[in-house]
Amino acid sequence: MQIGCPKEIKNHEYRVGLTPASVRELTARGHSVLVQTGAGAAIGLLDEHYAAAGATLAPDAATVFAQAEMIVKVKEPQPQECAMLRPGQILYTYLHLAPDPEQTAALVKSGAICIAYETVTGPGGGLPLLAPMSEVAGRMSIQAGAAHLEKSKGGMGVLLGGVPGVAPAHVVILGGGVVGTHALQMAVGMGARVTVLDKNVDRLRQLDLVFGNRIATQYSNVASVEEAVLAADLVIGGVLIPGAAAPKLVSRALIARMKKGAVVVDVAIDQGGCFETSHATTHAEPTFVVDGVVHYCVANMPGAVARTSTFALNNATIGHAVALADKGWRQALKDNPHLRAGLNVAQGHITYEAVARDLGYAYLPPDSLLA
């Protein structure tokens, strides 16, 4: 198969869909890989590294899209990239379609086979292709939150870990999944006072066993979320419903009652965000203020640590990329129900139920396309 890896064009996005090691994995199996010139240069993955791994260099994205049978990316395709997709071409990348009707319409129109990293499942449950970026984003959320609590960044001027004789900041984490757990590790390590809320009591028990009396755990409901958010200096939103729009756990009215200079970091912004006041921002302009509360809602947070993120992502994605290249998309999806869960759009149809429901499309089960 001819596989293409274009340079990412989203604002301050420096990750790359394939590392030279991933290229070598594919070329060693007889596939050809076309990599856009400079695709990984910003993170030290140079054209000569790709050439040494067996890739052919392409001068521009148009060449990659025109020649490749499968496109491997990181972020969702931008409008000009959607326009270059063609019927039957495989797109393997993050999509986050539920809060993005424009992208969804463009992918439906393209006729391409669109497999979303974020809905591929794992044998033991969970979302293994989303997990590495959730780990990065969870850890980064505390770094970003701590920085924006500084007065010069619009915050209330509080040091996350405090100092002897002065109380630390209170960090509230909504969701005890991958994002929440990694945010928790960072916040505890920096000396903050931490409360984590989740609806899964077994998960709260697990966190309590690991962190003990260094954290407080609370069952998540309307009353407990309100109480915790109003007491917080920093709130991390890390809730996820696979493939669907994130639930709005914090209302505009509740934001208005928060401490002035408090910070919210909405890691769920890729799926629409879990704060009613959230809207996506970029690394160039990462924050905005609503009712005195600083909102950090960067939609590609891991892009700020692009080298770490690229290697972590490739570790998770290359196995399925090899399967798609070796077998073709139909056979690969037939053979692996976990990869099949990643099929969101195919041949002009929505094939992921939560996306169809949230955006008002008819749902076509993936199995019907695999006969």
Catalytically active residues are: 96, 270
Tell whether residue 15 is among the known ligand binding residues: yes
Tell whether residue 239 is among the known ligand binding residues: yes
Tell whether residue 216 is among the known ligand binding residues: no
Give CA–CA dist 328/332, Å, rounded.
Answer: 6
Tell whether residue 335 is among the known ligand binding residues: no
> Please, are residues 346 and 330 in contact by the beta-carbon 8 Å criterion?
no
Residues 6+ apart with CB under 8 A from 357: 244, 363
DSSP 95: -
Give CA–CA dist 318/313, Å, rounded.
Answer: 8
Question: Residue 36's closest CA among 26, 46, 28, 27?
Answer: 46
Tell whether residue 178 is among the known ligand binding residues: no
Tell whether residue 70 is among the known ligand binding residues: no
Tell whether residue 208 is among the known ligand binding residues: no
Tell whether residue 75 is among the known ligand binding residues: yes
CA angle centred on 359, ends 117 and 337, rounded to 5°:
35
Task: Tell me the angle at which helices 131-148 and 306-327 cross, rounded to the nearest 10 degrees.
Answer: 160
Tell whether residue 203 is among the known ligand binding residues: yes
* Residue type at 244 in one-letter notation: A
Helix (H) or strand (E) holding 187: helix 178-189
Tell whether residue 294 is among the known ligand binding residues: no
Mapping DSSP onto H, E and C, the string for 15-67 reads CCCCCHHHHHHHHCCCCEEEEECCCCHHHCCCHHHHHHCCCEEECCHHHHHHH
Which residues make up each annotated binding site for substrate?
15, 75
Which residues make up each annotated binding site?
15, 75, 134, 198, 203, 220, 239-240, 267-270, 298-301
